[in-house]
């Protein structure tokens, strides 16, 4: 799972994440007023819950871009940090219910990594509430919509990521710290 940009990392104005579940790359424009939340969803449960919510026409904010992964346990810390580096305002990691992972311990590994990312964000003076883990089964379409709404409200309260704003000295330092962590 690798994030890519069209130009060099600091010069590009778009975040692109190649995702097999989408028609093309996700793109986030730096400086845009629209919120950008990346949701890394496991194939078996969270992605299916998102699909169910859509099938049932349950309304939820459009700020979330879903990235389908085989298991949340496969998610790297660097992928979460790169999402922030390239313009995401928040990151959701949504997996199976605890104890019901199709890969046995995947969601526990993901939870540990999400907590590690929160610790890293705190250390670089970046709001740790911008990343969150959610657990749900494939039959929980309404829970998916509630989780997305909750994440959207949290990120709106925090405001756009400092990394999406115009390059300032503080933003440059934060971006360099994120890059070092990757």
* Cα(76)–Cα(159) distance, integer angstroms: 25
Considering only residues 13 and 61, tell me which one the structure prediction assigns the higher pLDDT: 61
Domain 35-181 has CATH 1.10.3470: no
* Cα(64)–Cα(92) distance, integer angstroms: 9
Output the pTM of the full model: 0.75
Decide if 86 contacts 15 (C-beta within 8 A).
Answer: yes
Residue 79: how many other CB atoms lie within 10 Å: 22
Domain assignments of the chain as residue spans, ordered by start: 35-181
State yes or no: pLDDT of 21 exceeds 50.
no
What is residue 67's three-state secondary structure? strand
Listed range (10-19, 59-68, 155-164, 173-182) with the worst mean pLDDT: 10-19
Q: Give the pLDDT score at 7.
A: 28
Decide if 101 contacts 71 (C-beta within 8 A).
Answer: yes
Transcribe 107-160 into DSSP letters. Answer: HHHHHHHHHHHHHHHHHTT--GGGEEEEE--TT-HHHHHHHHHHHHHHHHHH-S
Mean pLDDT of all residues in 71-80: 93
* CA contacts within 13 A on the Cβ side of 178: 25
Considering only residues 25 and 142, tell me which one the structure prediction assigns the higher pLDDT: 142
> Which DSSP helix (H) or strand (E) runs through 66?
strand 64-69
Q: Give the pLDDT score at 9.
A: 26
């Amino acid at each position: 799972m690798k994030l890519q940009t069209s130009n060099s990392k600091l010069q590009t104005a778009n975040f692109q994440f190649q995702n097999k579940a989408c028609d093309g790359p996700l793109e986030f424009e730096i400086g845009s007023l629209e919120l950008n939340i990346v949701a890394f969803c496991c194939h078996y449960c969270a992605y299916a819950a998102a699909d169910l919510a859509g099938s049932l026409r349950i309304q939820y904010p459009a700020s979330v871009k879903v990235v389908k992964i085989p298991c949340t346990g496969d998610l790297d810390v660097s992928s979460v940090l790169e999402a922030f580096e390239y313009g995401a305002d928040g990151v959701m990691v949504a997996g199976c219910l605890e104890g019901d992972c199709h890969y046995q311990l995947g969601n526990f590994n993901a939870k540990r990594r999400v907590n590690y990312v929160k610790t890293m964000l705190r250390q670089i003076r970046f709001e740790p509430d911008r990343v969150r883990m959610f657990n749900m089964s494939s039959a929980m379409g309404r829970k998916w919509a509630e989780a997305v709404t909750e994440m959207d409200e949290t990120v709106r309260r925090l405001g756009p990521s400092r990394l999406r704003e115009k390059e300032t000295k503080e933003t440059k330092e934060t971006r360099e710290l994120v890059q070092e962590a990757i």
